[in-house]
């Protein structure tokens, strides 16, 4: 099992990665021998597929509360429903909430943990690649509003993250591939060598080779832990992780969350690279290199149905990355060279959308 440490002073925590990593629940005080009250907040599908492997490891009195899978569960109504289940079960302040599922479980369950009784401990057990490489680490929690994605949320660092790679076995191909987008994103903004590794090992990664997968998850967690330790609340450095996300979130919302988040991030990177290329920031060869990798990994290269550019520009303005009315974008000048800009115009967005279609 690999162990990574997120250094945040009193809010520091471990990330356990590997097959059967779920046994680390005991070390986190949520195990069968412990007397901590445990509430599992789980995606319905994940609970039915993997609940039986998890439950014997949890203390006898634990409860499991499920919610319907998918981004559409990230609502304040669902938060209230989960709070009321915790109230019915008399879950106390010293309890630990274990989130079990993909990014939605972590965002939604983490927000419930952050707000229940003014905040209880939380352990994330991501079961999708996307959550394992990105969403579960760093303490972002939140839900969506009709007006935009993740508009309501708080930072609430988990007490631990447990990435049990056994749970990835049942991950559908489309979700697996979507998770790769966040890995490519993090490599592009932070680690040129890791990007080259993606290119060299794309076939092994797509074939879910265990060693390749272990490296992919571990390296992402190391990179993310380093960024979060330097900038927990996204005052500066952490914002580079939003590369691909300003346009990606807009596409995701305009398509009514019918695409996976990772698919939208891939499209967002392509569109944002076209903006950078048109500005002369990004060499065409680098933009093409990224496009080739996205294609080889099986991620989408085109938005499935045409979106009106003014709608995309308007959706970007509803993003939480707006400051003083200006929309923040992360463009890249090259691999490992992100640059933050706030002056991308609707006309540039329109031209970039046309360029990828
Ligand atoms: N998903 C980007 C971040 O955690 O900052």
With a CB cutoff of 8 Å and minimum separation 6, the contacts of 215 are: 197
Question: Which tens digits make up the pLDDT trace of 255-279?
Answer: 999 999 999 999 999 999 999 999 9
Work out whether strand 2-6 and strand 13-18 pair parallel, antiparallel, or are unpaired.
antiparallel
Assign 34 a pLDDT band (cuts: 50, 70, 90).
Answer: confident
Percent of residues, the chain, with pLDDT higher than 90: 90
Please determine, for residue 131, whether its predicted confidence score (pLDDT) is greater than 90. yes
Residue 297 · residue 203 · CB < 8 Å: no
Q: Residue whose CA is closest, atom 2 of ligand 1?
A: 241
Residue 321 · residue 327 · CB < 8 Å: yes
Please determine, for residue 318, whether its predicted confidence score (pLDDT) is greater than 90. no
For ligand 1, pick from 104, 142, 224, 264 the residue to mutate: most ligand atoms within 8 Å of CB.
224
The CB-side HSE value for 126 (13 A sphere, CA atoms) comes to 29
The residue with greater pLDDT, 319 or 116, is 116
**Worst-scoring range by mean pLDDT, 59-73, 182-196, 237-251?**
59-73
**How far is 192 from 7, CA to CA, in rounded Å?**
24
* Cα 139–Cα 122–Cα 161 angle in degrees, nearest 5: 65
CA–centroid distance, 191 to ligand 1, in Å, is 16
The residue with greater pLDDT, 35 or 251, is 251
Q: Residue whose CA is closest, atom 3 of ligand 1?
A: 241
| 242 catalytically annotated | yes
Domains and CATH numbers, the chain: 2-171 (3.40.50.1970), 174-353 (1.20.1090.10)
Tracing tokens 């508009």 back to the chain, one arrives at: 151
Question: Which tens digits make up the pLDDT trace of 55-81?
Answer: 889 887 899 999 999 999 999 999 999
pLDDT attached to residue 276: 98
Q: Could you tell me the sign of the dihedral formed by the alpha carbons of 12, 198, 267, 76, in that order?
A: negative
Question: Which tens digits make up the pLDDT trace of 267-313?
Answer: 999 999 999 999 999 999 999 999 999 999 999 999 999 899 999 99
Residue 276's CB is within 10 A of a number of other CB atoms, namely: 26
The residue with greater pLDDT, 148 or 118, is 118
| 232 catalytically annotated | no
Please determine, for residue 325, whether its predicted confidence score (pLDDT) is greater than 80. no
Alpha helices (runs of H) in the chain, residue ranges in sequence order: 44-54, 76-88, 103-115, 129-130, 173-190, 192-200, 202-206, 210-230, 245-254, 261-278, 284-296, 309-317, 346-356
Burial (0-12, 13-18, 19+ Cβ within 10 Å), 357: exposed
| 238 catalytically annotated | yes
Ligand 1 atom closest to the Cα of residue 242 is 2
Assign 323 a pLDDT band (cuts: 50, 70, 90).
Answer: confident
**How far is 234 from 241, CA to CA, in rounded Å?**
9
Three-state DSSP at 65 gives strand
Three-state DSSP at 188 gives helix
Assign 120 a pLDDT band (cuts: 50, 70, 90).
Answer: very high
Task: Judge if the beta carbon of residue 140 lies within 6 A of ligand 1.
Answer: yes
Task: Judge if the beta carbon of residue 107 lies within 6 A of ligand 1.
Answer: no
DSSP 187: H
């Amino acid at each position: 099992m690999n162990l990574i440490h997120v250094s945040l002073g009193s809010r520091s925590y471990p990330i356990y990665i590997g097959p059967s990593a779920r046994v680390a629940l005991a070390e986190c005080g949520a195990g069968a021998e412990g007397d901590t009250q445990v509430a599992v907040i789980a995606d319905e599908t994940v609970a039915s597929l993997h609940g039986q492997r998890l439950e014997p490891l949890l203390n006898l009195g634990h409860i499991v509360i499920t919610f319907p899978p998918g981004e559409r569960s990230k609502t304040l109504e669902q938060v209230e429903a989960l709070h009321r289940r915790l109230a019915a079960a008399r879950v106390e302040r010293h309890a630990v909430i274990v989130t079990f599922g993909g990014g939605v479980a972590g965002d939604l369950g983490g927000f419930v943990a952050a707000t229940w009784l003014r905040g209880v401990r939380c352990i994330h057990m991501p079961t999708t690649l996307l959550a394992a490489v990105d969403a579960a680490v760093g303490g972002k929690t939140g839900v969506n509003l009709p007006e935009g994605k993740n508009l309501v949320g708080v930072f609430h660092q988990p007490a631990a993250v447990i990435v049990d790679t056994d749970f990835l076995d049942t991950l559908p191909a489309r979700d697996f591939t979507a998770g790769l987008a966040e890995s490519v994103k993090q490599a592009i903004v932070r680690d040129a060598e890791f990007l080259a590794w993606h290119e060299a090992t794309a076939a092994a990664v797509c074939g879910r080779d265990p060693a390749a997968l272990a490296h992919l998850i571990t390296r992402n967690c190391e990179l993310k832990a380093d960024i979060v330790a330097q900038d927990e609340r996204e005052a500066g450095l952490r914002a580079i992780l939003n590369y691909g996300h300003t346009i990606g979130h807009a596409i995701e919302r305009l398509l009514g969350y019918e695409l996976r988040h990772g698919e939208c991030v891939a499209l967002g990177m392509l569109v944002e690279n076209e903006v950078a290329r048109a500005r002369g920031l990004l060499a065409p060869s680098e933009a093409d290199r990224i496009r080739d990798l996205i294609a080889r990994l099986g991620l989408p290269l085109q938005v499935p149905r045409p979106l009106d550019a003014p709608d995309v520009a308007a959706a970007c303005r509803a993003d939480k990355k707006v400051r003083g009315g200006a929309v923040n974008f992360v463009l890249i000048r090259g691999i490992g060279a992100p640059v933050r800009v706030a002056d991308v115009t609707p006309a540039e967005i329109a031209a970039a959308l046309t360029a990828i279609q």
